[in-house]
Structure 1
Amino acid sequence: MHLRVQLVALSFRYCYHAKKHNIVIVSPILERDEDHNDIVWNTAVVIDNHGDVLGKHRKNHIPRVTDYNESTYYFEGNTGHPVFQTEFGKIAINICYGRHHPLNWMMFGINGAEIVFNPSVEAGPESELLWSVEPRCAAIANNYFTCAINRVGTEVYPNEFSSGDGNPPHKDFGHLYGSTYVTAPDGTRTPGLSRINDGILITEFDLNFCRQARDVWGFQMTRRMDLYAESFTKSLELNYQPQVIKK
């Protein structure tokens, strides 16, 4: 009950500030679903500039890798790929690990997103190699703006934990490398924010650019949704045989 009161107070505060400053707030939260046996979701809530909760999206893809084995506490989301109509554009939220899945990005585009936010908590050299690539590729492939948002600093926990990779137990995930940036539908991007310091990135979007980029590249006209759907369906069959031609 105490947690619920805290969340209600938090939502009122965010709604107040969204209305006061005429802004839309995307707020990641840990959602405990009391209507479904206290299932825990990794959720993002969208509050519009009138102070109303427009809706929420639950993270579609749950990592099962090293320190980020979230399958021990989160479930895969069940909200699909919602796009939220705001006064400033159609927005979507591809939460954290979902950025590694191109079809996840694509579905937000199919549903009409003009800006896709990717709030993340990312650390480690392997992850950082992908950070500057995936949201940018998604912006190009889907002709919308992407906002790659990552934290900075290091979280240290009171108890040690093991990654199951043979290395000694530890109390942190490593350095969260920040480097937040925005990419336009043609692949051009802003400089990234700091790797070590908090910061605010302010940029201006021309949403007409989404349509202009689509008209130039024609990706939506030339992709084969019917072919993909047929192939995906076949690949799920128990007796599926990969389409490999051998001599």
Structure 2
Amino acid sequence: MSGQLVCVEGLLGKHVPAEDLSEVWRILYGKELRKLDLPSSAVNAASQENFEIKGCVFEAALEQLRRPRTVRVGLIQNKIQLPTTSPVAEQVNALHRRIAEIVDVAAMCDVNIICFQEAWTMPFAFCTRERLPWTEFAESAENGATTKFCQELAKKHNMVIASPILERDESHGDTLWNTAVVISNTGAVLGKTRKNHIPRVGDFNESTYYMEGNTGHRVFQTAFGRIAVNICYGRHHPLNWLMYSINGAEIIFNPSATIGELSESLWPIEARNAAIANHCFTCAINRVGTEHFENEFTSGDGKKAHHDFGHFYGSSYVSAPDGSRTPGLSRVSEGLLIAEMDLNLCRQTCDKWNFKMTGRYEMYAEELARAVRPDFQADIVRE
């Protein structure tokens, strides 16, 4: 799908009669969210730096024994800044500069936690199956240049940062991982989590590039709430979301890189479903633009060799446990989405719907344990 359509919300606003629009929004997005009052300095800076900025508020009921647990979360979607043929160091530095500009604006809006898109320091080159120069973008999660860059940003702005990178694990034979590094607002490396599921779909056949993650479903206790990072293809696996939730995540980020022809009809559904099913907030992030590569590549699916994957359609959004969600960012432009959320809504929704209370986890566990055995027989009743 091309990058000509800016956003679905814009089309609805243009063509749905004004008297019907609020009801259409309610049906599509749940309860109407209040727009976040953004500082004029941030709006002006975003305009000058040529990226979109939006903000919404998720509210919870006032409680007698707990104070509101309000946190502001930021999502960044962006394009690569230089052609893929540019020197590796120049590409990385250009992306560092661009992200710093957007994070500065997020700080003007008092964002507490921010997450970048999958493999944000590089073109999404995994599916070319070429090694050089793309493996040169890989870095140490603990002390690589990008982690140090994020540590400085975190300290400067008192902000937790989730930074998804291509990791070079020098301690284990230079293995490559698709990893998110979580930086505390103090600037310390809080830890890392690796992509659990690797796609084998068309161009997105990344199984020869890096390994399935071995860090399980880590949840990070930050100063502003418990967060997890479910990288890209993991959003298609409901049990993946479930395990982050079982480990206590209140906010699950889903940094991704996905194109219109492959997944756009799934995009508005999966993260929102996960928020509902797991009584938590979910944050879906996708890059934008079309990235061209010098050498042609094929997927082995009968299609002609090509120089790009297609259009990365952006449309980043946030969903709440009650099923409400923000409008998405643009399909074509870089952007910053800010969501103010009261984390008390997680427990309040859990108490209302009782999905966790009524979940039959012991029964599922027993049946799954049987299902993975080599001698498994499906429980099918026949005449």
Partner of 2:223: 87
Residues 1:57 and 2:197 aligned together: no
CA distance in 1, matches of 2:152, 2:255: 22
1:70 to 196, 206, 218: 206
**Quick one: distance in 1 between partners of 2:241 and 2:307?**
32
Structure 2 unaligned residues grouped into runs of 5+: 1-135
1:1-247 correspondence to structure 2 within 5 Å: 8-247=144-383
Shift of 1:10: 2.5
Q: Which amino acid aligns with 1:72?
A: T
Identity %: 62
Q: Deviations over 1:164-184 (max 9, x none)?
A: 111101111100000000001
**Which range moved further: 234-243 or 8-17?**
8-17
**Distance (whole Å) between structure 2 residues aligned to residue 195 and residue 155 of structure 1:** 15
Q: CA RMSD in A?
A: 1.7
Q: In the alignment, residue 310 of structure 2 is paired with which amino acid?
A: G
Q: In structure 2, how many angstroms separate the alpha carbons of the residues matched to 1:63 and 1:10?
A: 25
Q: Number of residue pairs matched?
A: 247
What is the CA–CA distance in structure 2 between the aligned matches of 1:236 and 1:98, rounded to whole Å?
20
Q: Secondary structure, in 3 states, of the residue corresponding to 1:245?
A: coil
| C-alpha deviation, 1:131, in angstroms | 0.3
Larger radius of gyration: 2
Alpha-carbon separation, structure 1, partners of 2:149 and 2:203: 33
Deviation string, structure 1 residues 142-197 (Cα, Å, up to 9, x no partner): 00000000011011111111111111011111000000000011110000000000
Q: Name the SS of the counterpart of 2:338 in structure 1.
A: coil
- The answer to whether the 8 Å contact 2:321/2:345 transfers is yes
CA drift at 1:68: 0.6
Aligned counterparts of 1:5 and 1:178: Cα–Cα separation in 2: 27
Q: Secondary structure at the match of 1:72?
A: coil
Tell me which amino acid in the other structure corresponds to 1:243: D
Structure 1's unaligned 5+ residue stretches are: none
RCO higher in structure (CA 8 A, sep ≥6): 2
- Measured in 2, the distance between the counterparts of 1:238 and 1:2 equals 40
Instruction: Tell me how far apart the structure 2 counterparts of residues 187 and 86 of structure 1 sit (CA, whole Å).
Output: 25
Deviations 1:40-84 (A, max 9, x none): 100000001111110000100011111011101111000000000
Deviation, structure 1 residue 127: 0.5
Relative to structure 1, is the Cα distance of residues 138 and 62 closer, same or farther in structure 2, using a 3 angstrom cutoff?
same
TM-aligned CA deviation for residue 126 of structure 1:
3.4
Q: TM-score, normalised by structure 1?
A: 0.96
Report the Cα distance in structure 2 between the residues aligned to 1:108 and 1:4, rounded to whole angstroms.
25
Residues in 2 aligned to 1:189 and 1:42: alpha-carbon distance in whole angstroms: 28
Is the 2:140–2:170 contact (alpha carbons within 8 Å) kept by the matching residues of 1?
no
Cα deviation, 1:3-59, whole Å, max 9, x if unaligned, reads: 769963332221111111111111011111111111110000000111111000010
TM score, norm. by length of structure 2:
0.63
